[in-house]
Amino acid sequence: MVTRRDVARLAGTSDAVVSYVLNNGPRNVAPHTRERVLRAIDELGYRPNVVARSLRTSRTHTIGLVVPDNANPFFAELAREIEDVAFEHGLTLLLGNAMDDDDREAAYVRTLIDRQVDGLILIPAHGPHAWRSQLAASKVPCIVLDRELDETPASHLLLDNEGGAYEATGHLLAHGQRRIGCVAGPKNIHPTVDRVAGWSRALTEAGLDPASMPLVHGPFGRRHGYLGGHQLLSQEGRPTALFVTSDEQAIGVIRAAAELGLSVPGDVALCSFDGIAASSYTVPALTTMRQPIEVLGRRAVELLAAQIGDASGGERVVLSATLIRRGSCGCPDPVGGVDDA
Ligand code: RIB
């Protein structure tokens, strides 16, 4: 079996330098030396003994990520950003998809802890999170994204959902809309609660009564947007505008409006949330509150890497969304859905 020492001899360097190249640190290695080591590894077909290394360094150079539903492009695009930055840090990403199921989420959290990941990034589903005590006992560094986990010491990286919804609804009001309904996400999670609060505050400050506006809750996906759109837009005294709490839902609303013979934005103006790539390609393109997915992904890995390197946890970082104006609200519809942000 080829050993690290064989690689060091062929590369004309020490075992330690080979280790620094393999572990991306902790010491720097001159580029020409790194090149010789990598060439020796290739030539000899050396495969580091990951289990032995993890026993020595108590690190596996892997991190876990659990998301509610990676069929939703928001989570898929965020997971890709996280994976890109993890790779930059020499970390392998193990992804678990909870499918919004509490037991499945718990199974992934426990499995990833058992497999000795160096850290965890969690976007919690909606349930009781029964795994919290085991996570705390494991001392595995953890970053919670997007949905706040109450009474958990983990660091949180969140979005100002209330402020984003307030700005989106304010934009519809600025277009002269006065009957603004809401197609909202699942009732019992922070992003939904906060987005409905922002929609409600904007209406109240405009002298309108949110309780008189139609509101429907359901999953963040296209199907709920489609069904919720039919429900709200086929009513007597239907809304002439909708704040929709995800782009995926808004794609469903556009389909429902078309089936009801309603034009967007002429008969019903829309403003949604997330800023996924698909929001550029609906007809008209979606005006949306874009979440800083690239920043969220990078900050999550950097916060986690710092905690793996023994920095303290418990931070709470809140980022803001950016209004992207396109045709669905009544603004000009840019060719190719190109953003103006
Ligand atoms: O579209 C999925 C939604 O769930 C996003 O808005 C994200 O914030 C998550 O909470």
Position 134 scores a pLDDT of: 80
Position 335 scores a pLDDT of: 85
Residue nearest to atom 4 of ligand 1 (CA): 220
What would the CATH number be for the domain defined by 161-290+323-337?
3.40.50.2300
Q: Is 74 in the pocket of ligand 1 (CB under 6 A)?
A: yes
* Res 53 pLDDT > 80: no
**Count of C-beta atoms within a 10 Å radius of residue 123:** 25
Domain boundaries, the chain: 4-48, 62-160+293-319, 161-290+323-337
The encoded tokens of residue 30 equal 């001159």
168 C-alpha to ligand 1 centroid (Å): 15
Give the CA distances from residue 192 to residues 195, 220, 272, in Å, rounded to whole numbers and listed in that order. Answer: 5, 9, 12
Mean pLDDT, range 193-212, rounded to an integer: 98
Higher-confidence position of 73 and 20? 73
| Chain mean pLDDT for the chain | 91
- Same fold flag, 62-160+293-319 and 161-290+323-337: yes
Higher-confidence position of 74 and 18? 74
Q: Give per-residue pLDDT as tens, 218-271.
A: 999 999 999 999 999 998 899 999 999 999 999 999 999 999 999 999 999 999
Which range, of 89-103, 254-268, 321-335, averages the lowest pLDDT? 89-103
205 C-alpha to ligand 1 centroid (Å): 26
Name the fold adopted by 62-160+293-319.
Rossmann fold (3.40.50)
Position 161 scores a pLDDT of: 98
Tell me the residue type at 325.
R
Mean pLDDT, range 112-139, rounded to an integer: 84
CA distance 326 to 333: 5
Which range, of 74-88, 89-103, 143-157, 203-217, averages the lowest pLDDT? 143-157
4-48 classified as CATH 3.40.50.2020: no
Mutate-to-test residue for ligand 1 from 160, 246, 291, highest number of ligand atoms within 8 A of CB: 246
Closest CA relative to residue 228, chosen from 270, 193, 165, 190 = 270
Query: 67: pLDDT confidence band, cut at 50, 70 and 90?
Result: very high
Q: What is the pTM of this model?
A: 0.83
The percentage of the chain sitting over the pLDDT mark of 90, rounded to a whole number, equals 67
Position 339 scores a pLDDT of: 61
* Most confident range, picked from 19-33, 119-133, 312-326: 312-326
| Angle, in degrees to the nearest 10, between helices 73-88 and 247-259 | 150
Higher-confidence position of 310 and 40? 40
Query: 282: pLDDT confidence band, cut at 50, 70 and 90?
Result: very high
Buried/exposed code over 289-326 (b: 16+ C-beta within 10 A; e: otherwise): bbbbbeebbbbbbebbbbbbeeeebeeeeeeebebbbb
